[in-house]
Structure 1
């Protein structure tokens, strides 16, 4: 009995080591004879189309996004060995790992398409996104503001002129905190009515007025996320260009710098995704953004040190230079996104 069991396991192991045969002998696309899972003429993979829905989804992900066993070890190498996958790509070892651009689209869909909207729906206490506009003219007040006022001003109702609106302070609204007198003040209805009756003049002013008073915060935020995902597509090549300028003496073509830039942004997206997951699981805990920034700084330094074969100290200085320039460019991109959101 034990001998039969041993023989059965040996046969199963031998069968598992055999290459996977295609489900049919000739390509369904071009008719060429198949000698493996992929057609040698048109490149189409041989798979069964009449299959269960779950299996068809996995086949689609496997074909288009390499959502198979390669994803696991690619992510492992990407995280624990900075710069390694970029060197592997430049050395021609591409098929054993998930392609960098497929990896980027996977991480961007995870961050911008799944986790970010999901975090909004989970965190109900977050008032950033709702169906009300930024300036809600249907209410009588804009926002409550706490200010420190002198004791002499508390004997009677006080009106303070701020811009075109008035701030009314009532004695019964004052609270004592840390031996300081604070008053909760609100814009009065006159300022609201003045804003309602305001007529924009230029075209840009009309668009801005409409987005502030008619378009909800949720729609504006969705536009901002959409523009941000496209902005990264332009920021990645710019960062690659910065790498090329800083390491111009390494005599590498632009593609090598771009591959490293893609991998760095993938790790950043995964780190931000982890931050969103942390916020959904522990909504009242401190944000890990500082530690993410510190980890990304270390990761950037090690990546360029390994990829360009440079000492850590010198790589750290160049990483600081790259991060300073790239942060400034990112701020410009954020300003451009804000202009597109409110003026488009």
Structure 2
């Protein structure tokens, strides 16, 4: 490599400026801390030369990583856990970069206003169908088509006093208190927790104020669930990130007889999930251009085949065993995804 700028020998010192370790003129870097051995003052040209050199260096690892992921399913993970790491990007860092890019692309093309409009239209249609069914049922019972005689369902306010709640078990009391607060808000529209609790003659403390505010929020979410959908979508990167270590644990249990530790399974999971984001990100862009959903469907099938090949090459098992474990992995994935979705939705109601 041709030496230039701050790398020239005439700028090399006999001591590291960072850790003071003695150096020789042939040392381009400190063998103790890794800092460049130079006494030249930093110039504008040097700064940008080193900046672009670091980009191209990462680009080389990036190229090897992408090519390995695309055309050598499972082998890049095998290389990495066997110590061949210098030419590949860090799996964790690469996963974060690709996932951020994927969710940015995905977010750009999801029209939540259109989804909300469709949802409201479906809700309105369902309400009208329910109303028509109710009218028909009353006509059959009364023999009269006069809908003006239909009695309105007057929702009486649910109320439990503090004394009544004190006699109940903990979970029952929470449920009844929650119903009381939702009913009070529905009847009065009161947003201020202290005012509502004073009207209900309930204790005023952090717990009751929090519960009243949450009951309002869940009532609003039931009227407009798109708010919750948007909230959960914005948290998906974090949800998936915390979900992957659990999935890696499932893989460790599934391959417990194989000589892989937990972190090596996690490397495999990071690589396969990164590939999923790459395929789906590209397919979303193609679908937007073609105004179809064909590319996404094809990408999903390609990923399933890719996952099978990656499992076979990384874990070095026969076709029959790999197919069985591939099916188990997908079943476990959907079970964990279902549990995770329920926990996320319930948890979101308390932190949204």
Please say whether Structure 1 and Structure 2 have the same fold, judged by a TM-score greater than 0.5.
yes
In structure 2, relative to structure 1, the CA distance for the partners of 1:275 and 1:337 (3 Å cut) is farther
Determine the structure 1 residue equivalent to 2:31.
40
Residue 126 in 1 paired to residue 133 in 2?
no
Aligned to 2:326: 319
Superposition pairs for residues 57-96 of structure 1, below 5 Å? 67-96=58-87
Q: Work out whether residues 29 and 44 of structure 1, in 8 Å CA contact, stay in contact via their aligned partners in 2.
A: yes
Residue 210 to residue 96, structure 1, CA distance change in 2 (3 Å) = same
CA RMSD, 1 decimal: 4.4
Displacement of 1:342 in angstroms is 2.1
Asked whether 1:231 is paired with 2:239, we answer yes
Q: Give the C-alpha shift of residue 318 in structure 1.
A: 0.3
* Other-structure match for 1:336: 343
Q: Which has the larger radius of gyration?
A: 2
Per mean C-alpha deviation after superposition, the further-off stretch among 209-218 and 79-88 is 209-218
Runs (5+) with no aligned partner, structure 1? 1-17, 136-140, 166-192
**For residues 155 and 110 of structure 1, do their structure 2 counterparts lie closer, same or farther at Cα, with a shift above 3 Å needed?**
same
Deviation at residue 211 of structure 1 after TM alignment: 5.9
Q: State whether residues 70 and 275 of structure 2, in contact with CA within 8 Å, keep that contact through their aligned partners in structure 1.
A: yes
| Equivalence for 1:50 | 44
Q: 1:302 to 1:125 in 2, by over 3 A?
A: same
CA–CA distance in structure 2, aligned partners of residues 343 and 256 of structure 1: 36
Q: Distance in 2 between matches of 1:163 and 1:301?
A: 58
Find the aligned partners of 1:257 and 1:52 in 2 and give their Cα distance: 41
What is the aligned partner in structure 2 of residue 195 from structure 1? 186
- The one of 82, 90, 115 equivalent to 1:99 is 90
Deviation by residue 1:13-56 (Cα, 9 ceiling, x = unmatched) = xxxxx356573446664466586775432234689673599978
Per-residue deviation, residues 278-312 of structure 1 (Å, max 9, x unmatched): 34434x42364433332222111111110111122
2:248 to 217, 240, 247: 240
Q: Which residue of 2 aligns with 1:269?
A: 277
Match of 1:144 among 120, 124, 130: 124
SS of match in other structure, 2:101: helix
Q: Compute the displacement of 1:95 (Å).
A: 0.5
Q: Per the alignment, in what secondary structure is the counterpart of residue 68 of structure 1?
A: helix
The structure in which a higher percent of residues are strand is 1
Whole-angstrom CA distance in 2 between matches of 1:36 and 1:221: 57
- CA gap 1:90/1:204 in 2 versus in 1, 3 angstroms: same
Q: Is the 8 A contact 1:271 1:292 kept in 2?
A: yes
TM-score (norm. length: structure 2) = 0.64
Structure-2 residue corresponding to 1:292: 299
- Secondary structure of 1:248's match? coil
Greater per-residue helix proportion: 2
How many aligned positions are there? 285
Pick aligned residue for 2:317 from 286, 310, 321? 310
8 A Cα contact 1:264 1:300, kept in partner: yes
Q: Report if the CA contact (8 A) 1:204-1:343 is conserved.
A: no
1:7 aligned partner? none
